[in-house]
Amino acid sequence: MKKMIIIGLVLLVIVLLVGSYLYTNMTYMKKPLKKMYNAGFTEKQIKLKDGTVLNYGEGPRNGKTALLLIHGQGMNWKDYAKVLPELSKHYHVYAVDCHGHGESDWNPKKYTAKAMARDFAEFIEIEIGERTVLSGHSSGGMIAAWMAAYYPELVLGTVIEDSPFFSTELDRRENTYVWVYGFQMYQDFKNQNEVKDYFTYSLERSYWKKLFGDFLWKRFSKDAVSYHEKHPNEPVHLFYLPPQINRMFEAETYAYDRKFGETFYDHSWFEDYKQEEVLSEIKSPTVFLKAKTTYDDDLLVAALSDEDADRVVELVEQGIRTDIDTPGHDIHYDKPKEFTEILISFLEDLK
């Protein structure tokens, strides 16, 4: 009898652990969004003077200082959901969908850092109406840097999150993960006729296939493609995989105009963007957040190198580098507590 009770308890613990694991996997996307909306965030749209529509989220007016968040390539404003409730206790938070992403206009004529910065500057002028703290992730950080350099009257300070400065220059980009498994891969897809769907094509050639092996990756990929076919308008989410792995599929299936990515391939996104010059023009306080740097032989599997990050803060007049202990590029997503603490501390320093 005692033996049966022990076996029963062991089985119960196993069921509870498995149930908790599956529950976490099924709700990890919904829970941050629910908390975000409960904190008072609403989704809005604004039409600029030239007719461009920007979609954005706005938090409650708790803080006196405005914060504008600019997401990275392939994402949308809701990608900040984990950090928005806490940030909204200290800032009046705005988070915008970049052009070609989410519900903002998909107009390729606006797919340059300079054009987007101009529109976001107009957004600050007509919607926010005061000098603003900027925080941009990846390509969004490069837009924020342009704004800090050339619209200083609108910017109090900037937190740049793991943006690919210098690694995106013409003599460097071909030796980066994002080039080989992103921009170049999409061009290769366009130049073939065998596979019709880019999501399927990219999974068959994914860098992460080496980590999981052929058997597991084929299983994951088959289920991911099936999910995408059944739910074409939402990010892929496999209930049996933990958030860290799901994130790889999820990030590839947000609403995103692939023509935006092509401007990084032909370098037109960087029209008039001389990276060293832009950084040298920033006079306001600036923090650069750097995720871990890793290499696969000569391939840079990171946004930029440590030397690049050092160069960034050397060029910015009031630049500070802060390293975050995460191998992931999305610091605000992988380390939300650390990210919010940095933004809150940055606001206190500005005061």
Number of domains in the chain: 2
Domain final position from 209, 237, 260: 260
Report how far residue 276's alpha carbon sits from residue 36's, in angstroms, rounded to the nearest whole number. 37
Yes or no: say if 86 and 338 are a contact pair by the CB < 8 Å rule: no
Which pLDDT does position 74 carry in this prediction?
93
Q: What would the two tokens of residue 66 be?
A: 């405005």
Q: Are residues 227 and 340 in the same domain?
A: no
* Domain identity same for 213 and 308: no
> What confidence tens digit (pLDDT) does each residue in 119-141 have?
999 999 999 999 999 999 999 99
Structural domain of 206: 174-260
pLDDT of residue 245: 79
- The 10s digit of each residue's pLDDT in 7-64 is 655 555 555 555 555 556 666 678 999 999 999 999 999 999 999 999 999 999 987 8
Please check whether residue 1 lies inside any domain of the structure. no
Q: Are residues 102 and 124 in the same domain?
A: yes
- 161 and 88 share one domain: yes
User: Are both 244 and 199 inside the same structural domain?
Assistant: yes
Confidence at residue 308, expressed as pLDDT on a 0 to 100 scale:
98
Of 242, 260, 278, the last residue of a domain is 260
* The pLDDT of residue 11: 57
- Co-location of 322 and 274 in the same domain: yes
Q: What is the pLDDT of residue 62?
A: 87
| 150/271 same-domain check | yes
The structure's pTM equals: 0.93
Tell whether 60 and 199 lie within a shared domain. no
Q: How confident is the model at residue 278, as a pLDDT?
A: 98
> What are the tokens at 55?
């979609």
State residue 305's pLDDT score: 97
Nearest CA to 315 out of 173, 181, 207, 166 is that of 166
Q: Would 183 be classed as within a structural domain?
A: yes
Q: What is the pLDDT of residue 252?
A: 81
In this prediction, the residues of the chain whose per-residue pLDDT falls under 50 are: none
